Structure 1
Amino acid sequence: MKEIAIVGGGISGLFSAYFLHKSGHKVTVLESNKIGVECSYGNAGLIVPSHFEALANPGVLKKGLKWMLNPNSPFFLKPRFDLDLVKWIFRFNSFCTKKHVENNKYFLRDISLYSTALYKELLGNEDFDFDYKNTGLLMMCKEEKTLLEEEHLIKEANELGLKGKILNKEDIKKLEPNASFDVLGAAYYEDDGRVQPYDLIIAIKNYLESEGVVFKEDCKIEDINLSGSKIDSLVDDAGTKYVADEYIFATGVFTANIAKKFKLNIPMQGGKGFSFIVKKNDALNFSTPMILAEEKVAITPYDSYVRFAGTMMICGEDKTIVDRRVNNIRNASNNYINNSNIQKSDMEDLWAGLRPCSPDGIPYIGRSKEFSNLIIATGHAMIGISLGPSTGKIVTSLVNEEKPEIDIEKMNLYRF
């Protein structure tokens, strides 16, 4: 048994805590805010093996400056002078190639399917209850050219062994008879699903607390004490010292600056996203999550409400809610869902969070070479919820000095 300190109380930190506890270790989770209220909270909650294309891909590069400099676009770069940002942009653009997508699609498929299998396995045990459904995912298309792009991706998904097909308007109506959509058609990815992220995190936390795992909230780490090739201890803003055998940093976008103390270069930018919920009504009476393909808006239905989420705004560590961006999500949704007519007054639980984005669109998970008791797990961008269980399993394998069940070389901490 080892003493484990996990810094970060989001989905990666909680699943790491869960699997480490199940492996027999003594775990303490240190979170600077409340557990689960940062990037994981307002996430669309999608489990997406269909996302086998890295965030850095030719489709993004094609739109390039047209998107990056348009404050109303789904992908917006807020101009600022920051050397790390400039380096990140050049690296990101260099990875927006067909070769990069080809080199990583099998890995992204494998880690996503691994995570999906773990979600289904967790449903079968009695540790905690959570709302996971294998709903499939619709990529809703208004334009012919977008539908043609989705046809190509469906073909590629099928070649990768993923189940999916193109649906016309009539097919969509059969799938969702109680709602109406103003689209030409959609790609339907049958392997995808959804969870409620915050409820899931709290369920894991409650279970772990009942098992003796220690959670320290509002606990900001102010100092990291090093001794030779190891971390000796952590000190929080109240002066409390935490000593462990292994230290896991799952601190999202903030990990990039922390890593510099460990002589690690893990370039990362915060991709700010926004979300809100609307109570279910007749127009929103559907059960399949969807992404509005042209607008990059994710819509996830739950029993009593629907969460709308979108945009990728590269803007440093600013988490303020931008009304224009939120209204863009609302307007796009009204344009795709007939009779929805969502008003500002209907929008509840407005949220903004920072997705940790690496320049190549691949997470960072691995053990430090310089500091033998340090493990990093971050950089999941928009698929953090999707990869939560696999991240926790990989971290546990690293702590146990076992070979992970999938090849993690593409996520190595030293690739930049």
Structure 2
Amino acid sequence: MKNIAIIGGGISGIFSAYFLHKSGHKVTVFEESKIGVECSYGNAGLVVPSHFEALANPAVLKKGIKWMLNPNSPFFLKPRFDLDLLKWIIKFNSFCTKKNVENNKYFLRDISLYSSSLYKELMSSDDFDFDYRNTGLLMMCKEEKTLKEEEHLIKEANELGLKGRILNQNELKDLEPEASFDVVGAAYYEDDGRVQPYDLIMAIKNYLEKQGVIFKEDCKIVDTKVENSKIKSIVDKQGNVYEADEFIFTMGVFTSKMAKKFNLNLPMEGGKGFSFTVDKTSGMNFSTPMILAEEKVAITPYDSYVRYAGTMMICGEDKSIVQRRVDNIRNAANKYINNIDIKQNQMQDLWAGLRPCSPDGIPFIGRSKELSNLIIATGHAMIGVSLGPSTGKIVTSLVDEQKPDIDIEKMNLYRF
């Protein structure tokens, strides 16, 4: 048994805590705010093997300049003078290639399917209750051109062994008979699913607390003490010192700052996303999560409400709500879904969070070469909830000095 310190209480941290506890270790989780309220909280909750194309892909580069200069676009870069940002942009653009997509699609498929299988295993466990559903995912297309692009992606998905097909308007009506959509058709990815991220995190936390796992909230870790090529302890903002055998950093985009203390280069930018919920109305009587393909807006239905999420705003560490961006999400939903007409006063639980984005669209998960008891897990961009279980299992394998169930070389900490 090892004494494990996990720094970061989001989806990666909480799943790492769970699997490390199940492996027999003593675990303490440190979170600078409250468990589960940062990037994981307002996530659309999608579990998406269909997202086998990395965030850095030719489609983004094709629209990149047009999008990045338009503050109302799905992908916007807020100008600022920052050398690290400039380096990230250059690297990101260099990876927006077909070669990058081809090099990574099998890995992204495998790690996503691994996560999906773990979600299903956890559903049958008696440890805690949560709501995971293998609902599938719809990519809703207003334009024929976009539907053609989705036809190509469906073909690729099928070649990768993923189930998916194109639905015309009649087939879409058969799938969702109680709702009406203003689209020409949709791609339907049948392997995908959804969870409620915050409820899931709270369920795991409650279980772990009963098992003796310690959670230290409102505890910001600001420094480390290193001796003999190992981290001896971490130090919080109040000067309290905590020792452990192994240290797992799962701090999202903020991990890169801490990594610099270890001479480790993890280039990441925070991709700010926004979300809100609306209580279900008659027009929202659908059960399949969807992404509005042209607008890049995710819509996830739950039992009593629907979460609307979207945009990717590269803007440093600013987590403020930008009402115009939130309204863009609302307006997009109103355009695609008939009879919903969401008003501003219906929008609840407004949220903004920073998704940790690497230049190549692949997470960073691995053990440090310089500090033998340091493990890092971050950089999941928009698929953090999707990859939560697989991340926790991989971290546990590294702590236990066992070979992970999948090849993790693509996530090498030293690739940049």
Alignment TM class, shorter chain as reference: over 0.9
Deviation, structure 1 residue 294: 0.1
CA distance in 2, matches of 1:221, 1:267: 20
What are the superposed Cα offsets for residues 99-142 of structure 1, whole Å, 9 maximum, x if unpaired?
11000000000000000000000001100000000000000000
Matched residue, 1:211: 211
CA distance in 2, matches of 1:205, 1:298: 27
Matched residue, 1:266: 266
Matched residue, 2:330: 330
CA distance in 2, matches of 1:310, 1:24: 39
Matched residue, 1:301: 301
Deviates more, 1:234-243 or 1:125-134: 234-243
Matched residue, 2:123: 123
CA distance in 2, matches of 1:184, 1:363: 34
Aligned residue for 1:283, secondary structure, equals helix
CA distance in 2, matches of 1:397, 1:135: 30
Equivalent residues in 2 for 1:68-107, closer than 5 Å: 68-107=68-107
Aligned residue for 2:135, secondary structure, equals coil
Deviation, structure 1 residue 53: 0.1
Equivalent residues in 2 for 1:108-147, closer than 5 Å: 108-147=108-147
Deviation, structure 1 residue 235: 1.1
Deviation, structure 1 residue 168: 0.3
Any unmatched runs of 5+ in structure 1?
none
CA distance in 1, matches of 2:120, 2:285: 26
Any unmatched runs of 5+ in structure 2?
none
What are the superposed Cα offsets for residues 334-373 of structure 1, whole Å, 9 maximum, x if unpaired?
0000011000000000000000000000000000000000
CA distance in 2, matches of 1:370, 1:404: 21
Matched residue, 1:395: 395
CA distance in 2, matches of 1:149, 1:256: 35
Q: Which amino acid letter does the alignment assign opposite residue 215 of structure 1?
A: F
Deviates more, 1:236-245 or 1:113-122: 236-245
Q: 2:191 matched to 1:191? A: yes
Q: 2:226 matched to 1:201? A: no
What are the superposed Cα offsets for residues 256-291 of structure 1, whole Å, 9 maximum, x if unpaired?
111000110000000000000000010001000000
Matched residue, 1:242: 242
CA distance in 2, matches of 1:89, 1:8: 26
Matched residue, 2:276: 276
Q: Which amino acid letter does the alignment assign opposite residue 357 of structure 2?
A: C
Aligned residue for 2:274, secondary structure, equals strand
Deviation, structure 1 residue 240: 1.6
CA distance in 2, matches of 1:269, 1:237: 24
Deviation, structure 1 residue 228: 2.4
CA distance in 2, matches of 1:374, 1:332: 43
Aligned residue for 2:257, secondary structure, equals helix
* Structure 1 runs (4+) greater than 6 angstroms displaced: none
Deviation, structure 1 residue 64: 1.6
Aligned residue for 1:179, secondary structure, equals coil
CA distance in 2, matches of 1:346, 1:113: 36
Normalising by the residue count of structure 1, what TM-score does the alignment of the two structures yield? 1.00
What are the superposed Cα offsets for residues 163-183 of structure 1, whole Å, 9 maximum, x if unpaired?
000000000100000000000
Cα RMSD of the aligned pairs, angstroms, is 0.4
Q: 2:354 matched to 1:384? A: no
Aligned residue for 1:106, secondary structure, equals helix
Tell me the number of residue pairs that the alignment of Structure 1 and Structure 2 aligns: 416
Deviation, structure 1 residue 222: 2.1
